[in-house]
Structure 1
Amino acid sequence: MRTDSRLSRMLHVLLHMSRNDDPMTSEQIAAMLGTNAAVVRRTMAGLRKAGFVSSEKGHNGGWRLASDLRKITLLDVHRAVGGPKVFAIGNDRDNPDCAVERVVNEALADALQTAEALLLKRLGAVTLHDLSGKFDALCEQHPARSSGGPRGHQPKR
């Protein structure tokens, strides 16, 4: 099963945007992520709708951060990019005739609801500002690791 990386990729983009005074074009973001500009525009549209970024067309246009990093949680970004259901695990049949399968379904549903609630709570408690601070601390501890390109980024190959 392929994992959905929209959340991590957009967190990556937003943190780069927070360190860049100039707008970033869809093409620049696409090159950084190793994808194409149409995918970037489609994904960034959700962030724009949520008010986290703005965009301008034309010369010197591009995407800019439009919100304070302290106000954006990981959960906000997950929702803005249309993140999928957190867990792909599920029941074989929702209303089975077999009593054993009903017991199994109930146990799985309870465990998944508990885990999902915990994960969503944690995502809602971490802001982009928190991640930015951790990145800054990492750069101070290991300056050589953060020198791979503009503001500590090595493009995907």
Structure 2
Amino acid sequence: MRKDSRLSRVLHVLVHLDVHEQPVTSETIAKMLTTNPVVVRRTMALLRECGYVAAVKGHKGGWSLSCSLSDITLLDIHRALGERSVFTIGLTDEHNNCLIEHAVNRALDGAMKDAEALLLQRFGEVTLADLSRDFENNYG
């Protein structure tokens, strides 16, 4: 199963933007992430709509932060990306008449909802400034 790393990649980019004094182009970000600049622009546009980044056009243009890293949480970015669920585990509905399937789905659904609520709560407690400090303390 393929992992969805979009949240992690976007968090990576935002901490990088904080370090750069000049705006960073979509092409530069795309090289950093080994992706296409169009994907970067689409993703960054979602963040711009929420007020986390700004785009400057023209020579020396690119993306920059619109607010402090301490004002942005992991949950903010998760929501900005339009992510619905943090889990890719799905429930089966192939045997709608099977009572065992219903019991299994109820148990899984309840456990996943509880786990997701706890994870999203934690996402709301961690700011991008926390990530930046962790980087500085361990690698800077």
TM-score range, shorter-chain basis?
A: over 0.9
State the distance in 2 between where 1:85 and 1:110 align. Answer: 14
8 Å Cα contact 1:54/1:64 also seen in 2: yes
Matches within 5 A, 1:95-114: 96-114=96-114
The one-letter code matched in structure 1 to 2:36 is: N
Q: What TM-score comes out, normalization by structure 1 length?
A: 0.84
Greater mean alpha carbon deviation, residues 61-70 or residues 83-92: 83-92
In structure 2, relative to structure 1, the CA distance for the partners of 1:96 and 1:73 (3 Å cut) is same
1:82 aligned partner, one-letter code: G
Aligned positions, number: 140
Stretches of structure 1 that go unaligned for 5 or more consecutive residues are 141-157
Consecutive aligned runs of 4 or more in structure 1 exceeding 6 Å deviation: none
How far apart, CA to CA, are the structure 1 residues paired with 2:23 and 2:33?
16
Conserved? CA contact 1:11–1:128, under 8 Å: yes
Q: Deviations over 1:11-66 (max 9, x none)?
A: 01000100110000001111111111111001101110110000011111110100
CA shift, 1:82, in A, is 2.3
CA contact (8 A) 2:55 2:62 kept: yes
Return the structure number with greater helix share: 2
The Cα of 1:93 is off from its aligned counterpart by 1.3
Alpha-carbon separation, structure 2, partners of 1:91 and 1:83: 18
CA contact (8 A) 1:6 1:83 kept: no
User: Secondary structure at the residue paired with 1:15?
Assistant: helix
- Percent sequence identity is 55
Aligned-residue offset at 1:81: 1.8
Task: Give the C-alpha shift of residue 95 in structure 1.
Answer: 8.3
CA RMSD of aligned residues (A): 1.5
Q: Which runs of 5+ in 2 are unaligned?
A: none
Give the TM-score normalised by the residue count of structure 2. Answer: 0.94
